Amino acid sequence: MKRFPVTMLLLASIGAMFALELARGALGNDEKLLSLGALRDTGEFGRDYWRLLAHAWLHASWTHLLLNVTLLYWTGRIVERRIGSAQTLGIYLLGVLGGGVGSAIRAALHPKGGVTVGASAACFALLACAIVLLYRPAAARFGQPARVRLALVAIAVAGVAVSFIPGISLVAHAVGLAVGSLAGALARPSRATFAAPA
């Protein structure tokens, strides 16, 4: 927790919201997910700007949750170790907001039934950021193992491929990758070094 406070706090907050979903019987229930902050896929938005952030703390299923928290746990630590907690949180929130705005625009242009939930855009932002950081010479003192870079690239490719499956937000994933790539190129490497490798 002390080494990666932002990553761990994000994981805890997502876990707490999922517990609330379970308590309210919201899994698979669009109306209950909407009451908790899901984005409408119908194109109706109104002034519910808070949904642009809130939707990322909700998940549609156990599988959805586990995929996102696993990716967040791995990439969050890589990024936080190299650029610090404040920048990591900023990138995560930009990924959330970018994914939310992208999903809202897509819903307005191509409305359909259902809702959009999940931290995928933010997790993809951290994934892309981690890949870029692992190739940046400025972050070399933290270690840049080729196998980790290769694994992250493979996950990114697989994530893009999976994005074309109906029910998965291609827009959110694409926006997350774009946000993370730019952030990884612009981020300032941290002066602090954590003892544990990541």
Per the structure block, which two tokens stand in for 120?
Answer: 């995928």
**What are the sequence ranges of the domains in the chain?**
5-186
Neighbours of 101 (CB within 10 A): 17
> What does the pLDDT look like over 100-150, one tens digit per residue?
999 999 999 999 989 999 999 999 999 999 999 988 876 556 666 777 888
Place of tokens 């610090």: 84
Neighbouring-strand partners of residue 39 = 116
Of the candidates 31, 28, 83, 92, the residue with the CA atom closest to the CA atom of residue 57: 92
**Rounded alpha-carbon distances, angstroms, from residue 151 to 68, 121, 156, 167, 172:** 16, 19, 9, 25, 21
Residues 6+ positions from 49 with CB-CB distance below 8 Å? none
Q: What CATH fold (topology level) applies to the domain 5-186?
A: Rhomboid-like fold (1.20.1540)
Per the structure block, which two tokens stand in for 86?
Answer: 């404040």
Of the candidates 187, 183, 175, 185, the residue with the CA atom closest to the CA atom of residue 56: 175
Place of tokens 């931290």: 119
Strand runs labelled E in the chain = 39-40, 115-116
pLDDT band at 61 (very low <50, low <70, confident <90, very high): very high
pLDDT for position 178 = 96
Between 137 and 67, name the one with better pLDDT: 67
pTM score: 0.89
